[in-house]
Structure 1
């Protein structure tokens, strides 16, 4: 075993949180926040910070911890370094670290598939490869609208693979697993088609996305665990609502494909990244945080508040997009940021409370002895 100190894991986790907060701030700057002053973070950094600085670092860290190989931590370290370099004004070195981190993460995921050649590891490896493709295109100066599909594929395929792995208890038939894999491979192929014919490629991708969501709803254990309690029930609700957003995003894509900019572009991307991806983050936080910090996150009904706010304000944001009401869109955006911060704050509070509780018990035990 090549375990690293918990302090290193927590440090990288904090850097992932820095990427998240900087990305959220950058997103608000895009909407006009503090337009009277020079922003601390460029609005064009919103996508790279959220995908690489936050999700890349977090997922890379989680996979490295699971692999228990010290060299595997190079990927999240480079991705975190890319964030810091970008924030302090060194875009060139930041891009270099970005590519190194993406290559490292692709290698880690590929190595996991080599060790255990299962379908779910293959899907996650394809997710990391998608991140590498997206980042290579980004560094090459490709327009963002041509990149976002690849960037979205990274967290989405990672989640798809993890759900397939966790759902082994449901024992989906081999044929169903093959169908799931073919849907995902088809979805990736359709992303490639978007570089030839954007409209056709995205509409094929949207149709396949609906199929993927339908498969997950049918075979995910969340359908059973929603009858459970506390974190288990909460996670199931997050998962199923996230799959609902996937279907809605697919329907939007079939109707509008993915414009190069504008309100439909904004709405569709946030269905994927906020409606689906952040639902999945909320769903898995109670598992990921303990695996990295070594501390359980005690359950509290408070966590329903940020979940409700996340989806409610996303609906408001999309309504603003569809009706062309910029102020409504801004309200929805601020609400989404608030929901994410409230969730993160709740996690931090519960962790801190648990740590102090354990210390108090330890002191009490020593005193009694």
Structure 2
């Protein structure tokens, strides 16, 4: 199962490069990767990674069904069985909802409830894709799933810190607007304005309540993680703003909306948490070092050039996409080098 995760990531990134105008490959697997790029990244890859993390923690058969179904769905998409891939993703998200329903029945705490709401959003997105392939509402629901999952995990990590009165109530209101905006796009694309506004407000909520504002003044890994988180929240606000403009009728903002969220926010979260999650999930310990800042810097520089270079320039879009793909590859090499360095430091 674990071997399929990087394979599908490579396929998704390859499809994204083709859509950005990098390369001339046509037909067969290349065409399927380009057409399914959004689904491969937002629903398959991130769904599988989140499912794997949860399954390792819970050690329950139903939890393992989530990443298994997501990865099988991705392989079906790669093989050209689009409807089968969509169906497998629906089944995987159903299992995800069931897992979180069981957790919530035993422990009613805000972060588990939010994880459950995120799982429902994933299921909604997969159902929309299965019934109405290509509908923008599927993208909105998938991003809702991912953003709410990250928010829930940050909520769990900061659950012992003091929050001002009404903070959780404000978060609940933002989640309601976010999901209403996502669902509203099924009947009117302009509902995405509310969805984008909720993303911007959620970025402000995370920035206000996350401990990253304090740990950024620390050293070593805590500072690195804080910088990744803070940069991610900034991109979340950019993505929400671009989504609102896109929904208001300006198609030129579509690429900025999708990639500020998918690369700027979500990949920033991956870069932040991988040094901590990798040892827990894959049993591969890493030694943190300044080299981690190289892929981080390349990611944000490439994305900034893609979105704010010569606005609308096809060349800037292609160059930025290449830089982002290089940042992901460099991060994988950085993790491998950090693991090798840890083994040298702990020969026993």
- TM-score, normalised by the number of residues in structure 2: 0.93
Equivalent residues of 1:109, 1:121 under 8 A apart = yes
What CA distance in whole angstroms lies between the structure 2 residues aligned with 1:37 and 1:295?
38
Residue 204 of structure 1 is matched in structure 2 by 194
Aligned to 2:331: 343
| Separation in structure 2 between the aligned mates of residue 312 and residue 349 of structure 1, nearest angstrom | 23
2:168 counterpart residue number: 177
Q: Is the contact between residue 18 and residue 54 of structure 1 (CA under 8 Å) also seen in structure 2? A: no
Distance across 2 between alignment mates of 1:355 and 1:109 = 36
How far apart, CA to CA, are the structure 2 residues paired with 1:31 and 1:351? 33
5+ residue gaps in structure 1? 1-10, 363-369
* Aligned residues between the structures: 346
User: Residues 271-290 of structure 1: matches in 2 within 5 Å?
Assistant: 271-290=260-279
1:313-332 correspondence runs (5 A): 313-320=302-309, 323-332=311-320
Higher CA-based Rg: 1
- Deviation per CA, 1:64-96, whole angstroms, max 9, x where unpaired? 122222331011111111122222333343233
Partner of 2:137: 146
1:106 matched residue in structure 2: 97
CA shift in 2, pair 1:89/1:250, >3 Å: closer
The 8 Å contact of residues 102 and 132 in structure 1, kept in 2 or not, is answered as yes
Distance 1:17 1:290 in 2: 17
Q: Which residue of 1 aligns with 2:207?
A: 217
Deviations 1:327-347 (A, max 9, x none): 111101111111111112211
Rounded to whole Å, the distance in 2 between the matches of 1:190 and 1:265 is 16
Report the Cα distance in structure 2 between the residues aligned to 1:157 and 1:280, rounded to whole angstroms.
12
- Of 155, 158, 171, 1:164 maps to 155
Mapped partners of 2:169, 2:87: distance in 1: 37
- TM-score, L = length of structure 1: 0.88
- Shift in Å, 1:266: 0.9
Please say if residues 258 and 264 of structure 1, whose CA atoms lie closer than 8 Å, have aligned partners that are also in contact: no
- In 1: Cα distance, 2:65 partner to 2:344 partner: 32
RMSD: 2.0
Q: CA deviation at 1:353?
A: 4.2
- The 3 A distance-change label for structure 1 pair 193 and 213 is same
Q: CA deviation at 1:233?
A: 0.7
Uncovered stretches (5+) of structure 2, i.e. residues with no partner? none
Contact kept? 1:258, 1:265, Cα under 8 Å? no
Pairing 1:233–2:202 present:
no
Q: 1:366 maps to what in 2?
A: none
How many Å separate the matches in 2 of 1:306 and 1:258?
A: 34
Aligned counterparts of 1:35 and 1:115: Cα–Cα separation in 2: 53
Q: In 2, distance between residues paired with 1:294 and 1:28?
A: 31
Residue 259 of structure 1 and its aligned partner are, at CA, apart by: 5.3
State the alpha-carbon separation in 1 of the partners of residues 45 and 248 from structure 2.
24
Q: Which residue of 1 aligns with 2:128?
A: 137
Measure the CA separation in 2 of the matches of 1:347 and 1:210: 31
User: Structure 1 pair 258/50, CA: closer, same or farther in 2 (3 Å)?
Assistant: farther
Aligned mates of 2:127, 2:340 — CA distance in 1: 39
Q: Distance in 1 between matches of 2:223 and 2:230?
A: 11
Q: Residue 296 of structure 1 corresponds to which residue in structure 2? A: 285
Deviations 1:296-351 (Å, cap 9, x if unpaired)?
2210111101111111111111125x722101111011111111111122112322
